[in-house]
Structure 1
Amino acid sequence: MRKLLLTSLLCSSAALAQVSGPLVSPPAFSGMSEPLEHIALRARTSAFAVREFRPSRNHDVDKAQTVAGMGRAMLAPLVATPVSAPYMQTATYQPLGATMGANFEALGLGTPGFGISGAPPDTTLAVSPTQIVQWVNSQFAVYNKAGVPQLPAPGFLNGNTIWAALGASSLCATTNRGDPIVQYDRMAQRWVLTQFAFNASFTQNSQCIAVSQTSNAMGAYHLYEYSFGAQLPDYGKIGVWPDAYYITYNMFTNGASFAGGRACAYDRAKMLAGVPAPSQICFNSLSRFSFLPSDLDGPNLPPAGTPNIHISWDWAFLTTAPYTMQLTKFVPDFANPAASTFSDGFGGAPFSFVAVPMDAGTFAACNDNGNACVPQLGTTQKLDTLGSRQMYRLVYRNFGTYDALLVTQAVDTVAANTANLRWWEIRNPAANPPVVYQNSTFAPNGDARWMSSAAFDKLGNIGVGYSVSSATMNPGIMVTGRRRADPKNLLRAEVLVQAGGGSQTTGLSRWGDYSTMQIDPADECTFWYTTQYIGANGTFNWRTKIASFKFPNCL
């Protein structure tokens, strides 16, 4: 885990100082791509040499160091909910009862012409009414709902080919670094694709954003590159909202020293129109880590004026539990950026938040270490949990009579060397206080469950996907879920999507980095999930699956 001394960091550079106002900048480059289908017709995909893809990873903060510079009093909120004690589910409730749909091999070892470019694969996807885009590490593919690749052979492209039109001076065009996220903006019927870019010394770092001109993922894109100077925008995560695209990052100076959790807003209207220079509006905090922006699902917009809600938790900045989930509201003003706010939304100072206190028995995975402890069959190599953060996505859905957030993370509910699936449903999330409607740990047996992602369907049923492993099994892929009318805090029995064929060995702990559950906008009922597995013992030999399921009560 990354080491840093926050007390020294706070004094080392004025550029890293936490400021109350927003950081505003235009893109360094902008342009327009040709249709991706045309690029694919002449592309020759070449992979990097096999190596661990992340620079100096794990890009985490070390709580033993950060607590030297941060105290609980510095994080006191203005408003708070009651302490949230989780339900502990240790037994199977009843069969999942969902209809399993597509289940097909996606990018990874075994894909014709595909070379593993690094690990972990950072597996993510988005879904439109007719297409699926999956992006792994530094390559992406477009599929139909039956799993048939749609791009010309070999059926996938290097990520940076999207930004090729930005030219030889563009990091986005000339480097292919991964950390991708792909979204489908169902309000505008457009695709949003992004990855980071950096040079070999991390003295130049950028975020690459592409917004499609039509609903066809294989068409042309409006292109943008935003420079972050010597700070690497790591672990980017997107939330789609009516007023903006929100992307959050963990910043690292020269790819090494933690420089703060950063939340940025991008002018959605201008990006959809292809305006050349829409500014990014960002807030950066040295006492926050790994924000997640809320991501709109479903046809119902948030109530008028509802700001985008970002969550984080303070695990990295406290010596021990109890910890607090932090809800912060981002209100960008693209006409007057200096008027933008990032606060609790009730008159608090910049970086204030609404607190959801966790109980004293909730620890980060791996005995509150948050790092690598997941066992596997036949090897002493443990797998990383990313227990230091909540997992992508932070789903938002407006059900008409109420609205809700849904998010997952890997926890220990007792001080034991394991990883359990924690999931939260927070209703009326913009209220003071919000309502912690469901807060539960799913641990029906002793297996480790981590790298999870969840979504609601239109009825309020929940689908969850995750990795599962133990000392007696290879890492596999599971899904579970619940129907809206089920007793609160209970998930149904898990279903195996893919059994692991091997364990990851020889010193590689990184696994997944994230996975993605999306809901199909064609019916608002079908869950689509993607994550990694491996077919045989080894390293840099990952495979991925895309699978779907739906509950029969959702029509």
Structure 2
Amino acid sequence: DGPSESDTPFIPPDPQIAAGPAHLVVAVNSLLAIYDKAGKKQGSFQTFADFFAGLGIAGEIFDPRIIYDRSDGHFILTAGEVDGTNFTNGNVFVAVSQTSDPTGVWYKYAIDFMGRDRSNTANTFPDFPTLGLSSSAIYVSTGQFVLNFSCLRDDSCAFSDTWIKVIGLPELLSGNSSLNVTTFTSVTTASGIPAFAIEPALTYGTTSDEFLVAADFSGPVSKTLDVFSINTSGTPTLKTTSLQVPPYTMPPDAAQPNADTPIATNDFRLLNAVWSNNTLWCAQDIADTESSNPVAGWYEIAASSLSTVSLLQSGAISGVGDAYFPAVSVDSSANAQVVFTTSSSTEFASAAYTGRAGSSDPLNTMRTFVLYKAGTAPYVDRDVRWGDYSGISLDPGGASFWMIAEYAGTPDPHFGTSITQALGPPPLTISPPSFFFGDVDVGSTSGGETFTATNNSSNTVTVSSVTISGMNPGDFAIISDNCSSSTLGAGASCTFSANFSPRRSRSSRRLAEVRLLPKASS
């Protein structure tokens, strides 16, 4: 487990993770934690106020982002800072580890993000700072808001414009007090409307352009992603285009058991972006096709140049019913991984992940998800704020992903964060992925349906058990099971069968889930 509500008073936690050669650095609102890769915490949690105390700026520090620069061997952390008492300063703090060991000394900077609104009548302050990396610079984008006591009290602070700052790596990594900074303000989309919540990409490899991407907020229903590029050599120049994607809408809030209040899923802004081998991956919260459930939307975009961007594939992840606050990453073999929170009316908010294997999996699909940390209680706290995002990091060795997501624990209210490592996409797929038994009289039993579980990985997987859970587990039964205690080599399959026998009359559909539990060693 990572930091929890017992460790920080700030909600939501905004969990982030970065993997280095020997350490994991985890950031949440508003503290830093360092672990070795066996999960042992190195020292104590350090609050951001203490970590950045040497800058001599007193303000609330929030919305952390952290990445590991594999090329240069440094951790890079950013966080927003605003003086919410006197409204005299607004910064994005940047910290860079001097080496690949995060327990050592860090260079620390305060980058001024205080501006004026478009009518030049009020000061603006940064919110939701995002972080990207190329071979030559880091990229920090913020939404600038007009802040004052009344709007903070009423949660009605006005959005002004979006900024992007390009900060040169050579000066940043060497601790130079004079940074090379280029600032773009009042950023607009290709259609001319104000851009919002731009995600710069964490770039793996070398490219002539840094790519940035944002959901288009021209209305509550959109079919556009706004894509931007900034050249990585010479004087930075910002360019933009629009990309047509399947329509997406604002996500509804997420269901949870034993609680009258759903979990807030915010809006459909993009939550992270990664570029590798001329493709750009990104993810967001959206509504499903019936607009009844939040799902985790994801995209793979061809991005060798801004003029040729095109959608390669996209999809939506529903988890146990609702899925939200996804983070996506990809390795050099185009294996993608997505971490997210999932819940339903019968499943407490839990941490989960899924993925796909390069070009071998069908387009527009992810594999059967893994629920790696089950929630244990409902969550009702601070307007049921969740997220605002999850974290994922490709290991510097390139063979695994480290992930962190939020889950609901006890006592309510209590959020936790959970860290896991995955060697690749989930190994098992189940076919068919779902089955409808049709209408069955109370007291009668349907015919059986056979399901096939296939090991799509190159590793051996041992299945410990096959169980039924979910909303109405008592109305379904496993009638044959060749999977429990079986060991599946690469490409091998096993089967199990289930049937439906409703115990009492209900007008609604009866639902259940089948879970395959692998042994921990596999």
Kept in 1: contact 2:249–2:286 (CA 8 A): yes
Report what 2:420 is aligned to.
547
Please tell me whether the aligned partners of residues 454 and 464 of structure 1 are also in contact (alpha carbons under 8 angstroms): yes
1:374 aligns with 2:254: yes
Instruction: Quote the residue 1:246 is aligned against.
Output: 139
Work out whether residues 408 and 416 of structure 2, in 8 Å CA contact, stay in contact via their aligned partners in 1: yes
Q: Which residue of 231, 234, 242 corresponds with 1:331?
A: 231
Which residue in 2 is equivalent to 1:262? Answer: 163
TM-score, normalization by structure 1:
0.69
- The answer to whether the Cα contact below 8 Å between 2:297 and 2:317 also exists between their aligned partners in 1 is yes
Task: Describe the shift of the 1:192–1:469 C-alpha distance in structure 2 as closer, same or farther (beyond 3 A).
Answer: same
Q: 2:265 — aligned with what?
A: 385
Q: Determine whether 1:301 maps to 2:206.
A: yes
Match of 1:119 in 2: 11
Q: Secondary structure at the match of 1:129?
A: coil
Distance in 1, matches of 2:323 and 2:419, equals 18
The residue type paired with residue 292 of structure 2 is N
Q: Are residues 1:357 and 2:237 paired? A: no
- Asked if 1 retains the 8 angstrom alpha-carbon contact of 2:29 and 2:62, the reply is yes
Give the whole-Å Cα distance in 2 for the aligned partners of 1:203 and 1:481: 45
CA distance in 1, matches of 2:222, 2:387: 28
**Equivalent residues of 2:211, 2:275 under 8 A apart:** no
Q: Please name the residue that 1:424 is paired with.
A: 299
Contact 1:203 1:231 in 2 (8 A): no
Percent identity of paired positions between Structure 1 and Structure 2: 23
Counterpart in the other structure of 1:40:
none
Unaligned runs of at least 5 residues, structure 1? 1-104, 344-352, 367-372
The DSSP-based 3-state class of the residue aligned with 1:518 is strand
Cα contact 2:329–2:392 (8 A) shared by 1: yes
- TM alignment of 1:39-438, pairs within 5 A: 105-109=1-5, 114=7, 116-151=8-43, 155-166=44-55, 170-171=56-57, 174-199=58-83, 200-229=85-114, 230-254=123-147, 256-285=157-186, 287-297=194-204, 300-302=205-207, 306-315=208-217, 317-318=218-219, 320-331=220-231, 340-343=236-239, 353-359=240-246, 361-366=247-252, 373-392=253-272, 394-398=273-277, 403-438=278-313
1:553 and 1:248, CA in 2 relative to 1: closer, same or farther beyond 3 A? farther
Which amino acid in 1 is paired with 2:92? Answer: Q
Structure with the greater relative contact order (CA < 8 A, sep ≥ 6): 1 or 2? Answer: 1
Alignment counterpart, residue 529 of structure 1, candidates 385, 400, 403: 403
The secondary structure found in structure 1 opposite 2:49 is helix
Q: Cα distance, 1:322 vs. partner? A: 4.1
Q: Distance in 2 between matches of 1:410 and 1:524?
A: 27
Give the Å deviation of 1:473: 1.6
- In the TM superposition, residue 247 of structure 1 has moved relative to its aligned partner by 0.9
Asked if 1 retains the 8 angstrom alpha-carbon contact of 2:171 and 2:180, the reply is no
The answer to whether the 8 Å contact 1:365/1:410 transfers is yes
Pairwise CA RMSD of aligned residues?
Answer: 2.0
Cα displacement (A) at 1:405: 0.8
Deviation at 1:133, TM superposition (A): 0.3
Question: Secondary structure at the residue paired with 2:109?
Answer: strand
* Local SS of the residue matching 2:104: coil
Q: Output aligned runs, 1:476-491, within 5 Å.
A: 476-484=350-358, 485-491=360-366
Q: TM-score, normalised on structure 2? A: 0.73
Q: Aligned ranges for residues 459-538 of structure 1 at < 5 Å?
A: 459-484=333-358, 485-505=360-380, 508-521=383-396, 523-536=397-410, 538=412
Specify every segment of 5 or more residues in structure 2 that has no aligned partner in the other structure, as ranges: 115-122, 149-156, 188-193, 425-456, 460-522
Shift of 1:429: 4.2
Secondary structure of the structure 2 residue equivalent to 1:358: strand
Amino acid at match of 1:395: V
